Amino acid sequence: MDLPIVYHPDYVAPLPPDHRFPMPKFRLLHDLLLADGVIHPCQVHFPELPPREWIEQVHTSDYVRDYCQGTLDPKAQRRIGLPWSPALANRTCIAVGGTLLTARLALQHGLACNTAGGTHHAFPSYGSGFCIFNDLAIAARVLLAEGVVNQILIVDLDVHQGDGTAFIFQSEPQVFTFSMHCAINFPGTKQTSDLDVPLPEGMEDEAYLQTLADYLPDLLSQVKPDLVLYDAGVDVHLGDRLGKLGLSDRGLLCREMQVLTTCLGQGYPVASVIGGGYAEDMQALVYRHSVLHRAASDVYRQLT
């Protein structure tokens, strides 16, 4: 049996050539995984455009309408940090469907990986930090509403705190939010997750992995989730433009293996999204994102 992979073929939206964070990495990630034999075309699943009602389980109807129609006020648009276009609005909605599809596949197969996702800075009524709709939160809410799960653990290892996700679920006992992030980094004002682990600037592989080991196994035993939603942001890498931590390529691989083997070893299914990553060297950035899928493929083969 092969690891399920969710890919968004239309995820790349046209952006100005001088935009700070061009977005071909989603397509390039898919192409690299195929070229390196990490995945095969038969493993790839394609998401559909989700009903607006799913998005509105987390976001206000006014915000969803205004963003999708391109009528968001300029200040709110600037806060997102991405120029609006119909293509961007469409792929944003499809990305939500992609993370939900990843979660459903994880429940079915034990593990599934997205080639996008992790927009954890989006709040109910506004977007922030290149995040428009909170795909993790929407997937959690939809699955809970359907009754297919009763308890979800969100493991957010992006270098930035998952502030939008923390805010959305601050009074939700069925979703436990865990964010391990650089203390001195965006967002300036942190929200309160169920468990926040702020890390010192410059933390390297060994200390990072030991800190994760100090929390994750006990957290799984405490929460006993029906599903783990894992945000595998690679902006913890020492070469990231916005990161401020010091993980190496090897550290990233060890992190992914540690998370996946710990969760799956205790019998908890994992749906993974790629989270943040920012670099001038697009090839290096895409490789960092691919580490999640490489580790997941190895772990999946070992377990099946």
The DSSP code sequence of 47-98 is --PPPHHHHTTTS-HHHHHHHHHT---HHHHHHHTS---HHHHHHHHHHHHH
Average pLDDT over residues 216-231: 98
Beta strands in 194-295 (DSSP E): 195-199, 227-231, 270-273
- Give yes or no for residue 13 having a pLDDT over 50: no
- Give yes or no for residue 81 having a pLDDT over 50: yes
- Give yes or no for residue 98 having a pLDDT over 50: yes
- Give yes or no for residue 174 having a pLDDT over 80: yes
What was the pLDDT predicted at 25? 86
Q: What phi and psi, each to the nearest 5 degrees, are found at residue 145?
A: -65, -35
Return the DSSP state at 176: E
What was the pLDDT predicted at 303? 80
Confidence tier at 80 by pLDDT (50, 70, 90): very high
Average pLDDT over residues 45-56: 95
Confidence tier at 224 by pLDDT (50, 70, 90): very high
Confidence tier at 9 by pLDDT (50, 70, 90): low
- Report the chain's mean pLDDT, rounded to a whole number: 93
Average pLDDT over residues 23-30: 84
Angle between helical axes of 249-265 and 282-303 (0-180°, round to 10): 30
Percent of the chain beyond pLDDT 70? 94
Confidence tier at 16 by pLDDT (50, 70, 90): very low
What was the pLDDT predicted at 52? 96
What was the pLDDT predicted at 166? 98
| Fold of domain 5-303 | Arginase; Chain A (3.40.800)
175-182 and 195-199 as β-strands: parallel, antiparallel, unpaired? parallel
- Give yes or no for residue 144 having a pLDDT over 90: yes
Q: Where are the domains of the chain?
A: 5-303
What was the pLDDT predicted at 79? 95
What was the pLDDT predicted at 262? 98
What was the pLDDT predicted at 23? 57
Please write the tens of the pLDDT for every residue from 233-252: 999 999 999 999 999 999 99
Average pLDDT over residues 203-219: 98
